[in-house]
């Protein structure tokens, strides 16, 4: 056993314990510092961020990161099961670092996206249906969240 540990080996040892690093390895993604930071961001920000939000938050920490790098990294994460890509509409795509099966709710008033862990998305019994190959199934609802409902007059609320 080596008594003298260098700063580099301490950093490497800590990196192997990092949940973001572990997630990348589990998904078959080669870890890089930028990929680890983007994954760590997804794992610690439960707001379902967009590419712009991730870019704006990370560029102070990683000055060399570009929107293109974030876009390509998130696309790879989605393809390899490291993140969920949630298409809200043709103008807004969000990302979720929680890849366990769950549904989402998008508020039409404030635009926030919520995780619905009690509502499981449909699971296909087989990977094919009616001649189609099923690769992914996502479920999300649109409506008004409790916070926005509180702001509405009683006459507008649906019972």
Residues making up the chain, counted from first to last: 159
Tell me the β-bridge partners of 141: 105
Place of tokens 């409506």: 143
Q: Kindly list the distances between the CA atom of residue 27 and the CA atoms of 32, 150, 154, in Å, as whole numbers in the listed order.
A: 14, 41, 48
How far apart are alpha carbons 49 and 108 in whole angstroms? 16
Residue 94 known to bind ligand: no
Token pair for 84: 């969920």
For residue 104, count CB atoms less than 10 angstroms from its CB and return exposed for 0-12, middle for 13-18, buried for 19 or more: buried
Spatial neighbors of 28 by CB under 8 A, at least 6 apart, are 80
148 is in an annotated binding site: yes
Q: What residues form the annotated binding site?
A: 107, 110, 145, 148
Q: What residues form the annotated binding site for Zn(2+)?
A: 107, 110, 145, 148
């Amino acid at each position: 056993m080596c008594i003298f540990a260098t700063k580099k080996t301490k950093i490497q040892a800590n990196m192997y314990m990092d949940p973001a690093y572990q997630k990348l390895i589990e998904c078959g993604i080669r870890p890089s510092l930028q990929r680890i930071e983007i994954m760590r961001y997804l794992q610690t920000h439960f707001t379902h961020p967009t590419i712009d939000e991730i870019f704006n938050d990370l560029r102070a920490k990683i000055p060399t990161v570009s929107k293109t790098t974030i876009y390509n990294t998130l696309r790879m994460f989605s393809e390899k099961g490291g993140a969920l890509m949630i298409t809200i509409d043709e103008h807004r795509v969000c990302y979720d670092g929680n890849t366990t099966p769950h549904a989402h709710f998008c508020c039409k008033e404030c635009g926030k996206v919520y995780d619905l862990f009690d509502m499981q998305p449909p699971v296909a019994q087989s990977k094919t249906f009616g001649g189609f190959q099923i690769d992914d199934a996502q479920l999300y609802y649109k409506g008004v969240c409790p916070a926005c409902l509180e702001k509405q007059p009683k006459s507008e609320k649906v019972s």
